[in-house]
Every structure is written in C-alpha cells, then in structure tokens.
Structure 1
Amino acid sequence: MKVVKLAVFLLIFLLGGKSAAAQQSTRLTDNWEFVKQDLGGVWEAVRLVGAGNPESVPLWEKVTLPHCFNARDAVNPDVNYYQGPGWYRTQLEVQNPYANGRTLLHFEGAGQKTEVYIHTTRVGNHVGGYDEWTVDITQAVADFQKTEAFHKQFKGKVPLSIRCDNSRDLEMMPSDLSDFNLYGGLYRYLNLVHVPVISLARVMAKVEVDAAGKQGRLNIKVAFQEPAQGGETQVQVRVLDPKGKQVGKHQASYPVKAGEQELHTFPLKNPLLWSPDKPQLYTVQVTVKSGADTFVQTEKVGFRHIEFVEKGPFKLNGQRLLLRGTHRHEDHAGVAAAMTEPLIRQEMRMMKEMGVNFIRLGHYQQSRLVLQQCDSLGIVVWEEIPWCRGGLGGRIYQEQGRRMLTNMIQQHYNHPSVIIWGLGNENDWAGDFPEFDKERIRTYMKELNALSHQLDPARYTAIRRCDFCKDIVDVYSPSIWAGWYRGVYTDYKEVSQKEFEGVKRFLHVEWGGDSHAGRHAETPDNALAKISSAQRADERAGDASLFGGSARVSKDGDWSESYLCNLVDWHLKEQETMPWLSGTAYWPFKDFSTPVRPDNPVPYMNQKGVVERDFTKKEAYYVFQSYWTTQPMVHIYGHSWPVRWGDEGEQKMVKVYSNCAQAELFVNGKSYGTKNRNSQDFPAAGLHWTVPFVTGQNQVRVVARQGQQTVQHEISFRYQTRKWGKPTRLTLEKVSDAKGLTTIEAKLFDAQGVQCLDAANWVHFSLAGAGKLHDDLGTSSGSSKVQAYNGRAIIRLEAQAGQTAVAAQSPGLATVLLTL
C-alpha cells in the first residue's frame, strides 16, 4: 500500500460530518483490485486472496484510487454506460499508535451506494455519491487480528472489501433524468486514519465582520467524536493571521459529551479581509489532550461580509462585486469522476486565469479539494445538494435530501468561499414518479430552506429553474438561454431585466451554448434568421433534442466555435451595462459527459464548455479573458482553424480578443491599422478588422498595448477560394508523431478533389493490429465516432511495434484504410 503521510497536526479528514485533522492519516491509493460486476457475497472477495488459485473467477483488474467504473464507457458511442455494482479489495496494514485509539476509514466521496467490509464483517454503509463519511473499523480489525486467517492466509494484513453501486434507483438523489452521469466507484480519495481515544468530529468556526471591515468576531464551536467518553479534557484554540502570527489564544477544560459546545469567541479589530483579489486566510488550530495523546484539527477561515441587495447587486465587504462565474462538473477525459488532486488544481487554476471570481458547483457537493482551491484562489461559491430533476420521492428520498444538506453545510461550513447553499436544480422537471405535486415540492423546499438557515443563518439559499418555488429561497435563478434553446442572444438584457423584476434577489446561472471544438464558420449567425425573438428565452422539455420542435439555434445552428464566441461576447458586453445585476455563471467551464445526449457531435457529451474535457482551450476561453482579466492578453480568433474560405479579394473579418487599450493588426506583413478597445463595440470590443486574404497561406499577427506593456499573438492558415460540392470521398493520413502518440486525420472531398470545408459528416475510426486508439475520451480528437469539423476529423493512437491498420468510415462513402 502506497503511504501518503499527510502532515502531522495539519491533515484533514471527515469524522461523522466535518473535517478533522489527525496525527496519522494515509491515502489508500495503490494495490487495489476491482471487478465491474456483483459477487455472490463478500466471501468471494476474500476466499482466494493469497491462495494462488489459477481458476479463480471472476477476474479482478489492478487499479489505483481514485477510480471510476465509467472512466471510458460514459462516452463510448456504442453502449449505455454501466450502472450496477462493482467491488474493490485491498489489504491493510493496521498499527494504531494510540492506546485505546480508533481506526477509521474516511471516504471523501464514493458513488452511489457503498458497503464496507473487514474480512466478511460489514462495518458500514452509505447512500449518496457526493458527501463525505467515516466508518469506524476499530473493533472489526481487532476481532479479525485474533483469527487464524489473519496470521496464515493474510500474513498479518487486514482484508478490506468495498462494494459500490450506481444502479438506477428512483428513491435516490439525483435523478437518472439528470443531464450528467451518476458515476460509480471510489472516485474520490479514501484515507486510513488513526485517532486518539478522544478526538473531534468537527470544528465550526463562525466568522463575522461588519461591511466596513473594522470589527471582526470569530466564534469557535466543536463536537467530540461519539460515543462521548465522559469526564473533561484540555482544549486549546489558537488563531493565526495570514502570515502565521498568533492573534488569539484560549485554553480551558471542557466536558467530553455529545453535541456541539461553544469554546470561545475572539474579537479581532481590522481583520485582513478575504476577497477574490486578496484571499486572506486565517488559521484556527484546536488541540485536544487525552492523557499522553494529542489530537489537533486545523481549519482555514476568512473574514468577509456578504450581501445580496434586494432588487440589486451583490456586495462583498461593502462594495459591489459583479459575480463573473462558471460551473464545474466532476468529470475529466479518461478518468470520468476520478480526478486526482493535480487535475483539480489545474482545472481551478485555469478558471482563475480566465478571470472567474464565482463558481456554481453543479449539481452536488464536490470534493473538499475544490473548496480549498476556491478559498486560496479567491473564488466565491454556490454549492448545492443533488436534488435535480425527476420530481419528489417518498420518505427515504426526502430523508436523503435532508441528510445531504446537513452534511454539506457541516462539512464545508468553514470555507470562506461559500456564499450560497443550493437546495435544488430544475425541480419543475417531472418524470420519476406517477404524480407531480407542486404543493408537495413547495412543502419540501420550505423544509430544506428552514433547515439550511437553522444550520447556517449567515449564508443565503438558492435554487435554479423552479418558478413555483422562487418565493421560498433567498436568491433565485430563472432559466435564460437567449440565443441557444430559445430566442436570440440580443434578447439577453431585456429578458434578464424582466426576470429580475419578478424576484427578490436575482442571480443568473446557466447560460451559453454548445460548440464542437475545431468547427468554425465564416457566417456563424445565419441560424438566427430562423428564430423568432422570445421574451422568455428559457429552456423547455425537448429543447435539448436535435430533432423536432420549433426552430432554435441548439437544433438549427452550426455548433461552431464562431457562433459561441459571438454569443458569449454579446452577453459579456451587456453585463457591463447592467448596474442592478448581481452576476452570472456560464454553463459550464468544461465539456462533460451525459447519458441524455447520444446524438451530439461528440456522442454523450455536453459540449457547452469553454475548454474540452481534457483541458484543451476553445476560442471562447479567450473571450472571457478579454473581459474578465487584468493581466495584458491578446488572442486572434482561429488558432484551431487551419483553412478559411471565400472569394478572391473578398473582405474577411478578423477578430481579436484582448483586454488591452489598443491593438494593431498585420496581415501578411502589412499593417491594417490600430484600433481602440470599446466593450460596447460588438464584436470583439471593437478589435475587429475586415481585410483581404491571399489564396494559399496567410500570416496574421496582432500587437496589443496596455500602457508600457506589449503583448502579441500570431496565427497562420490557408485561404481556399475553390468552391466544393457534396462530399464523395474520404481520405486518411498520418499528420504527426509527438510524445508517443500518432495523429491521424480524415478529410472529406468532393468529386473534383476540393476539400468540403463545411462538411459535418459522421466519421467512425477503428484500429486493428498493434497499438491502442485514444478514443472514449469525450473530446473532438478523442472519440471513435465524431462529426467532422470543417471537413476533417482527427484521432490519436499509441503506436507499438508491429503493423497497425487504422480505418475510417462515413455513411455513404467508401471506407479507407491506413497501414502504419
């Protein structure tokens, strides 16, 4: 077992509902085996371990945690993703250093129902794929260590078996009607933890500061890990400022009893304030003495004052802050939900570099690692429970919702980044149950709202898209998809203001549109001519379908990056002229997999992200940067557009996205003048030129200036003036070898041999012989079945010794083979 020692006195793990730090904690990452099916019982997981029996079935595979059942099949174009049980097993070395101490398994999240066994003894279970939980295995380990199997078959190690199950279940949140996969597996970190006989279940650090930031208060409450031991224990609390200087200390004896108890309140004058620009974090360290043993829990907190003004904007520390946000799903190419800490850090850093100061975590409690990054980077958070679509279930269903809300608030209470607890999403979407009773839903929503305020009176509650409940919560987000599912994007401000007037506090989360990475258009807004302007511009049942219904860009548009950039550009320039707006959040940051979109250009992918599922940036990423960041940047549209087209001598638009005051454009070495940036001059904030290209290769360069600083960007492309007809021929060629990967490109040509630059035919790749195709990644260059982008499509493979043949097929065209 690979041992990752988390720093003594500073490690965080969950004990029954909130983070706690322990002296001994180990991430259990290596030496796991997995089987994607059910077993006859736990005995099948342990009976043949170490026996060396070659006839053992089923066959287990070696895996590393975090691990997801659906790392590949979630985006396999030919199958439904697996929903069912799977088993994990390993062997633990258990040596608790504390006299009468406890040994715990801390799950940072596992999907969706989990059972835990020490040898054949079930020691715990959990329902819910997103909150944290802990299993005490102390007694089961002690009992097993007395057996003959411990000494002989397992040679001093303790067998751990875990059954995860993501089977469909109507009485479990979230609904399988949701627009995301309900993943299975141990897809977040699992920790083996040793604690002394007396330890803490949680520390609740309530931070208050006035809007002027002059007077701060820090109130500390704790709950001891049950069962309570009785008697008293020494507890010390230290408060350190962001530079590590001690600014508060308290020490006293407290009874060891069940429930929360208050320790101390620290007044702090002129505390350093937490904000997106300066995310100042204080440290709270609580030390508990139990005989010779010491337990320490460390928390990070921040002083900030939040206010959603009724019928007005959002204020942080007394000043208006326009929330510039996006969304995150726990999903990534090749691993699905099993994102490692480095991947999470990279994703959050990319968001911050795009200019994000706000994120909605959709649609479930997410990893503690995400919240820690939001705290340290300065990103405010709306986090919600997974009551998403389907309606309202019965007693078991509703109890799960209450439990998940309680766990989310207790587990993430201390994070200064969190400003909103989300109670639900699209709860007006029926389908899981025979009846859809709005009054029952309202009653339950009121219950959740009251529970949230009881657990945390200082933060706001919110929901998105359930108009018949919008009066219950503190903050409401209606459904506004101007220019995608309904209406045109120029409707955006008018529609938003009308919705704003109908609620107490308005915050617009979820807007945007899909784009197929690598697909570009010379006239991207053509589809808008088919769309009637709509005052609502919302999303309704069936709008996400690519077939039937009224005209809409989501069905009738070209899904080009060019259109999405125009839509984003318009929204961002309008948001700068809406002084009443609290903020928005673009949906989402990264493309993610979904079972309800099999017909999208990358099957089973929601392609609304501004980066692909593997972090490859789309053009829209730079549009956001040009409005939201201050570090000088410049980007010419079209870095992934190898061939543009038009007539000889035709004036073509070049768009430059930059936050700089001025930019000068050069085409094939000739200057086409300097333009000043003006956010209200659409498109590209005035940094657009119409210029002629030459047939063949063209070089375009831009130099942007902000004060004394200069930044530049350059692209090259081929300009095609020959016209094309219907695709009649498919070709396949090797275009590059890099980093152990071979890139293969398919192209579509007409009968005259002209590349069809608007062709969107389906292309299906396959491989025979040596090597491995990099498919099932959910990206435009990592799917065995994909729609062409501008008459081409690419796939990558790992080349190995021996002969390899790659095939490409497209309906109605002859199959082509390429032998490597």
Structure 2
Amino acid sequence: MKQYQIYILFLLGLSLTACSLSSDDGLLREKINFGDNWFFQKGDSVNVQNWKPIRLPHTANIEPLVVNNQWQGISWYKKEFKIENKNTNRKHFIYFEGVMQETDVWLNGEKLANHKGGYLPFTLDITEAIHGHDYNEILIRVDNQDNSEIPPGKALNDLDFNMYGGIYRNAYYISTNEVYITDAVHANIPNSGGLLVHFNDVSEKVASGIFKTHIQNDSEIEKSIKTVVNFTNSIGDSIMFESREVMLKPKSNQNIEQFITIENPKLWSPESPELYKVSVEIVSGANILDVQTIKTGIRKVEINKDGFFLNGKQRFINGTNRHQEYPYVGYAISDNANYRDAYKIKQAGFDFVRLSHYPHSESFMDACDELGLMVMDCIPGWQYSEPGEFIENSYQNIRDMVRRDRNHPSVIIWENSLNESWMKDPYIPEANKILDEELPYGNIYSAGWADHPSYDLFIPARQHSKAPDYWSQYDKNGRKILIAEYGDWEYYAHNAGFNQKAFKGLKEEERTSRQLRAHGEKRLLQQAFNYQEAFNSNLKGEHTIGHANWLVFDYNRGYSDDIESSGISDIFRIPKFSYYFYQSQKPPFQDSFTGPLVFIANYWQENSTTDVTVFSNCDEVALYLNGEKIEHKKPSRDAFSDELEYPPFVFGISKFEVGKLEAIGFINGKEVAKHTLSTPAEATKIELSYDISGKPLEQGTNDIVFVYAKIVDDEGNLVSNAVKKVQFNIDTDVVEIIGGNPVDSEAGIATILIKVYAKSKGFSIEAKSEGLTSEPLKLMN
C-alpha cells in the first residue's frame, strides 16, 4: 500500500489536465459521462513518467489483427476531477459499466473498492471520500491476468475467446439528493434495488403488472415520500401511476410497489419493437427529490407444450451468437459500434441473439430493445468450473446480470449456466433458485446446456449429439430445446451425417464451416451449404423451439493462433455468402430490415462454378447470362432443404462465359428484386466507403467505424482476387487509424478501423495503392 500513498503525494506537485463536475441544490439527478481526461500506463507499479492521456472506453493494449498472444497484465488509470459547489446534502457516485477483470480503486489515497469480474457493472459511493473544493484524484489498478476464481475462470491460452484488458466500457459520474433511487446492482438486494417493472398478464387489450422503486434515505431526517410513474408510448400517449405516501426513516431504504394497468398496450416484438419511456419521480410534499427515466417494453413470453409463443403467437426462434470483440481494440468499442452490430444482426435476417458467453454491453442491450432482437442473456462461463470462490462469484454474476438487464423487453431467456462446463451439484439447483429469488414471477425462463430438469429450457449445441439425427429425435416428456450453437463444429469433425457424398473429393479445409473471405468462392459456398444443411435439420425436431448459429462475426480466441472464421461475416463485418443465405430465410415483407431478396453466390470469373446458387425469399427466380435466359424456376427441394421456407435456387450453366449474370426474383408473378454480377476485368481503382449501419459517425465520442477500400475495375465490379497493399491517409489529427497501415486487401477489400476523438467540421480519407486511382471519401458529422 505504501507505493500508492507515495505516488499520491508525488502527484500533488504535478500539473495535470482535469475536469470539473457541477452539482448543486437546484439539481435532482446528474449523470455525466466520466470518460474524458484520463491517464493510462501499463506495468506492475506506477512510473510517474509513463502516463499517457486517453479517453474511455479504452483497451489496455492494441492487438494485431490475428491475436496469437493477447496481452495480459497490470494497467493503471488515473483522473483528476473537481466537484463544484459540493454540498453536504448531495450524494456522489461513479458508475463503471465494465472493467476487465479485477479492479482496485483509490480516491484521494483511500482505497474504496476491489471488484472482481469484467462483464458486469459496479458503483462507487464517493460521497465521503471527495474533497469539496479541491481536485480529487481517482487511481485504478486493472488486472486481466488469468484468475481461476473469476468466471469464466479458464486460463486464456485454453479459452475459446479473449478477455481484453482495460476500462473498456463507459464510466459515469452520478449525483443525487440524499433521498434517491438506488442502483439495482449496487443495492445488492434480491428482487429489489433501482427500478423494476414486470407485467404478469399481457394481451392486446390490457397489460397489468407491478412497478417497484427502491429508495434510499441517507439524510438525517425522516421523509414522507411517494412515487409518481409515467409511462409514455411511442406516439406520446401517457398514463400516470401515483403511489401512496410512506414514511422513510433516516439512513434506511424501502421499496414502493405499485400495481399498474395499461389498456390497449403497444406490444414489443421483433417486427414492432415498441418501447415505453418510463419517468419515475420521488416526491416529498411539494418537492421532487429524484427523477429517473428508463425505457422498457411490454410483451408476453411463453414456452409450453406446444412451443414458444410471443404475445400469444407461436414462432420459431431464428438466431445467432455474437462475441463483442472488434479487431485491434478488443472489447473497447463505442456505443454506436455496439448498435451497428445489432443492426447488422437484424439485417442478416435474425430475430434472436445469444450473448456468448457473458453479458454484453448496456448499449448493445439497448440496441436489441430498439431494433427488435430477442436475447438470451448469459453469465460468464466456458468449459470450466471449480468449487469455492469461483462458484460464489458465479452466483453473484447471476444476480448482477438479472438486476442489470431485467427491464429489457429483449431478454426472453436467462442462461444461468456455465457453458459446456461440468456443473456439480448443487450448482444448477442453486443457480435456478437465485433466478427465482430475483424474478419470482411467471414466464421467466432459465436455460442450461445440461439437460437438467431444474432448467426451463435445454440449450445444447448441435455437436452435443450425434449424426445423422442430432436433436431431431429428442423427446423427454415434452421438454423443449433451443439449439444454442450449430453449423460449425460438426463439419470440422467430419460427422455431418447427411451429405457425406458431397464431401467426396473435398479436402479437409474445404469441408469446414470455418472459412475466411480470402479462401474463395468454393469454400465460402461450402460454408453456406453447411449452415443450410444444419438449419434444415434443426427444423425437423418436434420439440425444438429455435436455434442460434455459430456465429455472426469472426473473432479471435485465446487457445488458437488463427481467427475463428465460422462467422457469416468476417471480423470487419463484411458479409460472406452464408450471410445472404440467412437473409433469404426471412419473409420478404415481415419488417423494414429485409425485403424481397435475390443474391447470386458466385464471383463469375474463370474458375467459378457453373452450378450457380441464388439465395432468395421469392417464389420464383429467373437467371440470365449476357441477356439470355438460363432458366425461370421455382426452388428445388431435396433432403437438405425440405424443411426450409425458402430453399436456394441452383441453376446449371453449360459453360463459363465472360459477362453478366442477372437474377430476377418474382412474388405472385411480379418482379420484386434483382441482383446483377459481372465478370471483373483488371483492377483499376479504389472505391471508399465506411460503415454506418443505422448510426452515423458521431464525432467527439470515441466512436469507431470501419473504412473499406474496395478494389474494382473500370465498371465498378469487385476484383475479388486482387491482392494489393493499400495506404490510408486522413487529413485531420482528431481521427486515428487503429491497427496497421498500410494493409493488405482480402478478397478485394482492404479495411481499416478509425477512431474519432474530437469534433471537427469534417475530414477526408484517401486510399492509395500502386496502379490504382481513387477519390477521397469525405466524412461529416
């Protein structure tokens, strides 16, 4: 401890950038982003010469694209801040959304906290430790080294994903009056803390349930208080609920529970993700003491003997898995980047996402609510368990996950199970007891990878059973299952069981679903077929209510020295052929994300297959080559597509001809979609674009976006076999290129990641490569 005290004293002589935070009696509740003006360094102990200015979210180490040896160690963060007009009748907190993974915090030399766990939030009450008129300094030690006591617990070099260090999510300064609404995780009380809404009975005519508000009185005076809760829907209609008055003694806390009824509710669903803005006021006499606003949704989830029902309508859950990693920066991605990931998942045709294998960021959860993605929320875990503190920390993970996410309408299933881990008694019964304590209501569903009766839903991976039936014959007293992972592992292990003849002549690397975009047309088509075959097989299970493929985006993992490439999009979020297969499995007029689709899964160049696959959700497709009709047909069904609503179309072309393929989709005889593809000529230029996906680039927020340099011919056709080194240049110093520069193109596209620190009037990006022309890309706020 002495080294920290010495260090604090030494800093008194330093002049450092700091920030001022304002709070006074006229304010009810402040929540201010606490991400600016931090300093950072790595090392077992602090060196006063090594501080570097940074902004949150922040990664402890910029990694290479392929992470062979992820950095692990001790990192340090510090920040000076001043609270203006600090009064004795104010409370002050700092809220951290996520720090990886063991965190020690000092404020003005006093140790305030040790927090274990990298995926869930924690709050510091700094009221007694702050200086009223002077600058305060917070010092944080962050350790992301292997720790078997902290879930997921497994050593990184044996883990199937990476755990990137740093204060990688947002931090906030929060100020309230002394009578205030608590934070649910910080309060640490079962079925309490903060705000809690649950609708017990839901129909299109009426929704009824309870609303709990947990209030803390840290003053010296007894208070007579009540709560006023306003629900406002998307068109501005409001309904108010006012509680009775209660007496709240000094230094005590209490729940105020209200019964709520909303007539003609706007129900949340993937097709219509209606949200209510809920404003909660704490009132004492004529004074408002605190106010807090959240968003939530009203929906009815039910799993019964007939299947899965949402708002009384049966549906098959079609989903995917996601890791929250970006290249280079690991977990340290902006709120907008998290939103863009959710947007891409919707665009791909999914209505569900499993958060493999840990709770994801709050901004991703908000995006799922807003965009209409059902969620399986998961505690940290993967092929590891040990008795003692690890188990106790896992139990706390369940509580903290539920308390953080219980008001999200997107969360339909709680995976309170250590994924693919041997869970010895009494872990499973206790895990479900905890969930029941936190949410003692109907229609709350637990899920585990172990087929244990304590779980409401069995969620095996496809590879946990055997070919050729896998889970299609599963029947245990009508128990329902959701296949939590499929499409990858079984093909890698050569036991698909259904289409072995098609594997004749395929090399091992050509059979697998793990395919980079650089691996080419043949292997990308095989990946798409593997997913199709497994998707089709999963639909045969009488008791299967849904599935989630493995997975949506490529990612790095601790135990392997290559990128795990079974994503339907690569690590830069560029789609592979399999992405369009999934997009084609969504009805064409279901919502605004995916309409009628035709996609030619081919590069149409000299070595391309002449058996041309077209993914489409249309009734019929016509294919043309250089204006001549090849065929106009309905989809062909076989043993690998007989359960699909929209089987692919396969057209046989007698021989390859340079030129243009054109696919036209028809519904009820009417042309509704078109896709054209031309044989690329010589690469001549670069076309620049950047990723928006529902959220324009936001300057001044540490936003990060991908910039793509597409190598094309004179007609704008992608030259997929172009291998070029591309140099990127930016005409401002408020934007940073993260990772390598120059970069090599992959399948005709070179990608960089940029981070925008400060606001500017706009900036331009240029890309240069030998022998290619290009125009700059202008990016504006």
Question: Distance between the aligned counterparts of 1:704 and 1:593, measured in 2?
Answer: 38
Q: Summarize deviations over 1:462-504 as a string: whole Å, max 9, x none.
A: 444335xx2221111122139xxx976xx3xx32123344772
Report the 3-state secondary structure (helix = DSSP H, G, I; strand = E; otherwise coil) of the residue aligned with 1:664: strand
Question: Does residue 472 of structure 1 match 2:454?
Answer: yes
Residue of structure 1 aligned with 2:439, choices 428, 436, 456: 456
Residue of structure 2 aligned with 1:374, choices 368, 375, 378: 368
Question: Does residue 621 of structure 1 match 2:579?
Answer: yes
Letter in 2 for 1:409: V
Cα distance, 1:102 vs structure 2: 1.4
Question: Does residue 661 of structure 1 match 2:619?
Answer: yes
Partner of 2:776: none
Q: Summarize deviations over 1:76-108 as a string: whole Å, max 9, x none.
A: 45x511111111122223225765101211111
Question: Does residue 95 of structure 1 match 2:89?
Answer: no
Report the 3-state secondary structure (helix = DSSP H, G, I; strand = E; otherwise coil) of the residue aligned with 1:390: coil
Question: Distance between the aligned counterparts of 2:455 and 2:405, measured in 1?
Answer: 20
Question: Distance between the aligned counterparts of 1:264 and 1:223, measured in 2?
Answer: 12
1:634–1:704: 8 Å Cα contact kept in structure 2? yes
Cα distance, 1:555 vs structure 2: 9.2
Question: Distance between the aligned counterparts of 1:300 and 1:532, measured in 2?
Answer: 44
Partner of 1:412: 405
Cα distance, 1:172 vs structure 2: 1.2
Question: Distance between the aligned counterparts of 2:142 and 2:319, measured in 1?
Answer: 33
Cα distance, 1:135 vs structure 2: 0.5
Residue of structure 2 aligned with 1:398, choices 391, 394, 397: 391
Residue of structure 2 aligned with 1:510, choices 482, 485, 491: 485
Partner of 1:750: none
Residue of structure 2 aligned with 1:296, choices 284, 291, 297: 291
Cα distance, 1:327 vs structure 2: 1.6
1:487–1:552: 8 Å Cα contact kept in structure 2? no
Partner of 2:138: 160
**1:584–1:800 distance in 2 versus 1, CA, 3 Å:** closer
Question: Distance between the aligned counterparts of 1:230 and 1:336, measured in 2?
Answer: 48
Alignment of structure 1 residues 214-363 onto 2, 5 Å: 214-225=205-216, 227=218, 231-242=222-233, 243-256=235-248, 258=252, 260-289=254-283, 294-310=289-305, 312-363=306-357
Question: Distance between the aligned counterparts of 1:675 and 1:231, measured in 2?
Answer: 78
Q: Summarize deviations over 1:302-349 as a string: whole Å, max 9, x none.
A: 222211114x42111222121111122211123210111111111111
Question: Distance between the aligned counterparts of 1:277 and 1:554, measured in 2?
Answer: 30
2:532–2:581: 8 Å Cα contact kept in structure 1? yes
Question: Does residue 127 of structure 1 match 2:116?
Answer: yes
Question: Does residue 193 of structure 1 match 2:178?
Answer: no
Question: Distance between the aligned counterparts of 1:699 and 1:313, measured in 2?
Answer: 46
Report the 3-state secondary structure (helix = DSSP H, G, I; strand = E; otherwise coil) of the residue aligned with 1:614: coil
Cα distance, 1:141 vs structure 2: 1.5
Question: Distance between the aligned counterparts of 1:473 and 1:426, measured in 2?
Answer: 13
Residue of structure 2 aligned with 1:136, choices 110, 125, 141: 125
Question: Distance between the aligned counterparts of 1:96 and 1:405, measured in 2?
Answer: 39
Residue of structure 1 aligned with 2:647, choices 682, 685, 688: 685
> Where does the alignment leave 5 or more consecutive residues of structure 1 unmatched?
9-20, 45-55, 151-156, 430-437, 516-524, 536-545, 721-732, 746-756, 807-820
Cα distance, 1:638 vs structure 2: 3.7
Alignment of structure 1 residues 485-634 onto 2, 5 Å: 491=468, 494-501=469-476, 504-513=479-488, 531=495, 533=497, 553=512, 560-575=523-538, 578=541, 580-598=543-561, 603=562, 605-631=563-589, 632-634=595-597
1:239–1:246: 8 Å Cα contact kept in structure 2? yes
Partner of 1:80: 69
Question: Does residue 207 of structure 1 match 2:198?
Answer: yes
> Where does the alignment leave 5 or more consecutive residues of structure 2 unmatched?
1-16, 183-192, 500-507, 590-594, 691-706, 712-719, 755-763, 772-781
TM, length-normalised to structure 1: 0.73
Question: Distance between the aligned counterparts of 2:710 and 2:311, measured in 1?
Answer: 54
Letter in 1 for 2:463: W
1:775–1:782: 8 Å Cα contact kept in structure 2? no
Letter in 1 for 2:236: G
Question: Distance between the aligned counterparts of 2:675 and 2:393, measured in 1?
Answer: 52
2:178–2:219: 8 Å Cα contact kept in structure 1? no
Letter in 1 for 2:309: K
Question: Distance between the aligned counterparts of 2:105 and 2:531, measured in 1?
Answer: 47
Report the 3-state secondary structure (helix = DSSP H, G, I; strand = E; otherwise coil) of the residue aligned with 1:507: strand
Question: Distance between the aligned counterparts of 1:621 and 1:556, measured in 2?
Answer: 13
1:121–1:140: 8 Å Cα contact kept in structure 2? yes
Question: Does residue 389 of structure 1 match 2:371?
Answer: no
Partner of 2:663: 702
**1:680–1:316 distance in 2 versus 1, CA, 3 Å:** farther
Cα distance, 1:178 vs structure 2: 3.0
**1:98–1:418 distance in 2 versus 1, CA, 3 Å:** farther
**1:743–1:283 distance in 2 versus 1, CA, 3 Å:** closer
Question: Distance between the aligned counterparts of 1:274 and 1:448, measured in 2?
Answer: 28
Letter in 1 for 2:652: T
Partner of 2:56: 65
Cα distance, 1:184 vs structure 2: 1.1
Q: Summarize deviations over 1:404-427 as a string: whole Å, max 9, x none.
A: 211111121111221211112334
Cα distance, 1:393 vs structure 2: 3.2
**1:142–1:2 distance in 2 versus 1, CA, 3 Å:** closer
Partner of 1:171: 149
Question: Distance between the aligned counterparts of 2:141 and 2:395, measured in 1?
Answer: 24
Report the 3-state secondary structure (helix = DSSP H, G, I; strand = E; otherwise coil) of the residue aligned with 1:424: coil
Identity of aligned residues (%): 22
Partner of 2:162: 181
1:96–1:102: 8 Å Cα contact kept in structure 2? no
Question: Distance between the aligned counterparts of 2:374 and 2:601, measured in 1?
Answer: 32
1:170–1:393: 8 Å Cα contact kept in structure 2? no
Report the 3-state secondary structure (helix = DSSP H, G, I; strand = E; otherwise coil) of the residue aligned with 2:462: coil
Q: Summarize deviations over 1:3-28 as a string: whole Å, max 9, x none.
A: 9999x9xxxxxxxxxxxx96312112
Greater mean deviation of Cα atoms: 131-140 or 628-637: 628-637
Residue of structure 2 aligned with 1:108, choices 97, 106, 111: 97
Question: Distance between the aligned counterparts of 1:170 and 1:698, measured in 2?
Answer: 59
Question: Distance between the aligned counterparts of 2:620 and 2:432, measured in 1?
Answer: 49
Cα distance, 1:689 vs structure 2: 0.5
Residue of structure 1 aligned with 2:29, choices 23, 26, 33: 23
2:357–2:419: 8 Å Cα contact kept in structure 1? no
Q: Summarize deviations over 1:258-314 as a string: whole Å, max 9, x none.
A: 45523311233443322222222233321114685631112323222211114x421
Partner of 2:421: 428
Residue of structure 2 aligned with 1:32, choices 38, 42, 45: 38
Q: Summarize deviations over 1:223-259 as a string: whole Å, max 9, x none.
A: 2247575622433322324133222321432233645
**1:735–1:466 distance in 2 versus 1, CA, 3 Å:** farther
Question: Distance between the aligned counterparts of 2:554 and 2:232, measured in 1?
Answer: 39
2:619–2:666: 8 Å Cα contact kept in structure 1? yes
Partner of 2:5: none
2:358–2:377: 8 Å Cα contact kept in structure 1? yes
Letter in 2 for 1:466: A
Q: Number of residues paired by the alignment?
A: 676
